[in-house]
Amino acid sequence: MTATALPLIPLRPARRMVELTIDGETVQAPEGSTILDACRHQGKEIPTLCYLDTLHPVNVCRACVVEVEGSRVLVPSCSRPVEAGMVVKTDSERVRHSRKMVLEFLASSVDLSTTPDVAGWLEDYGARPERYGPPAPPAPPGFRDSLQPGHHAPPDPDYAATVIQPVKVDNELYVRDYGKCILCYKCVEACGKDYQNTYALTVAGRGFDARISTEFAVQLPESACVYCGNCIAVCPTGALMFKSERDHRDAGTWDESRQTVTDTICPYCGVGCTLELHVQDNEIVKVTSPLDHDITRGNLCIKGRFGWRYVQNRPPDARGNGRGGDGRPRGSA
């Protein structure tokens, strides 16, 4: 990576090491690091969905649970700090069972077709989401947004309840397909206290009816959203997606093997965020910034994230991927 290689490593005091046992092996880990850090250091694979090392851990998906001796219940490895003398099991029957169930619960209620890695985990853990019955028909538009806390109608015994619903397309830049949402809270954190401080998104409702929402589920253009796209950058499921990517996917033309990623610096302002341009067939299809970048931590603003259409000096696109294909910045006559 180009920009991240700059010698900007902050000076930190050397951390004390603690000794713990993971799957029978004695290991050392820096104080304050998590069980997950220690496991990854050992090269152990632990599935994670709601964890991202640039965000505060919310430990809600429970895919990463491990057994810690002396603890009545399993613990989320992504957020539990290591302690001296801890005895951890990462692959016991108990651990494998809960992980399998978490994966089954999600796969039977959410469209995971664009969640990376999950297909492999489902297989590894022997998950069988189909055993809860055929998925219920998709909810009508707006239905899940209207659900009120409290009493619910009895379930239909012939179907497994899901969160499948129509995709929300209410702006030109990105789409929200909450039928793919696993409620990992990452977008809420990125939009609110962790980075963007815009607070356009919240979790609304309760229990299985909980969903990501704006105030009164208004459309994005009416909400506080400033289209920084930082929620898209952290969404692990493809529920939030560039409209350009979504259009390609819907047209069956999305092909990552044909894509290149080019690093550059955002031309708009003096901050100089690193941009990664994802290009397919000589067309920018989305823009990201490296999560481990010291300045951006993966975040950008609307200009860096979406303001690249002017680069593509081509006639209006027949595939309909965006306006302003005349080579001029939008808004210029």
- Counting every residue written for the chain, the total comes to 333
Give the footprint of ligand SF4 on residues 148-187 (CB under 6 A).
Answer: 181-187
Q: Alpha-carbon distance 57 to 80, whole Å?
A: 10
Distance between CA atoms of residues 254 and 238, nearest Å: 13
Cβ neighbours of residue 233 under 8 Å, at least 6 residues apart?
190, 288, 289, 291, 298, 299, 300
Q: Is 103 helix (H, G, I), strand (E, B) or coil?
A: helix
CB neighbour burial string for 43-73, b if at least 16 within 10 angstroms, e if fewer: ebebbbbbbbebbebbbbbbbbbbbbeeeee
Q: Does 78 bind ligand SF4 (CB under 6 A)?
A: no
Phi/psi region, residue 15 (left: phi>0; alpha: psi -120 to 50; beta: rest), is beta
Segment near ligand FES (CB under 6 A), from 24-32, 55-63, 245-253, 296-304?
55-63
* Partner from ligand FES, ligand SF4, other proteins, none binding residue 51, C-beta < 5-8 Å depending on class: ligand FES
The token pair that represents 243 in the structure block:
């409209």
Q: Considering beta carbons, is residue 135 or 325 the nearer one to other proteins?
A: 135
Q: How far apart are CA 51 and CA 32, in angstroms?
A: 17
> Contacts with ligand FES in 72-101 (CB under 6 A)?
76, 78
Q: What is the pattern of x (binds ligand SF4, CB under 6 A) and - over residues 36-75?
A: ----------------------------------------
Return the CA Rg of the chain: 22
Residue 131 near residue 97 (C-beta atoms within 8 A): no
Given a contact cutoff of 8 angstroms between Cβ atoms, the answer to whether 191 and 231 are in contact is yes
> Taking the complex as a whole, how short is the minimal distance between the CB of residue 116 and other proteins, in angstroms?
18
Which positions ≥6 away from 256 have C-beta within 8 Å?
Answer: none
Q: Which does 98 bind (CB under 5 to 8 A by kind): ligand FES, other proteins, ligand SF4, none?
A: other proteins
Shortest Cβ distance from residue 36 to ligand FES (Å)?
A: 7
Work out which of 38, 88, 163, 191 binds ligand SF4, going by CB under 6 A: 191
One-letter identity of residue 137: P
Phi first, then psi: give them for residue 88, nearest 5 degrees: -115, 135
Q: 228 is in the binding site of which of ligand SF4, ligand FES, other proteins, none (Cβ under 5 to 8 A by kind)?
A: ligand SF4
Using CB under 6 A as the criterion, what x/- string covers residues 14-53 for binding ligand FES?
----------------------------------xxxx--
Report if residue 275 touches ligand SF4, rule: CB under 6 A: no
Tell the smallest beta-carbon distance from residue 260 to ligand SF4 (Å): 25
Binding segment (CB under 6 A) for ligand FES, from list 54-62, 161-169, 205-213, 304-312: 54-62
Q: Quote the least distance from Cβ 269 to other proteins, whole Å.
A: 18
Tokens linked to 147 = 């659900």
For ligand FES, the binding residues (CB under 6 A) are 48-51, 59-64, 76, 78
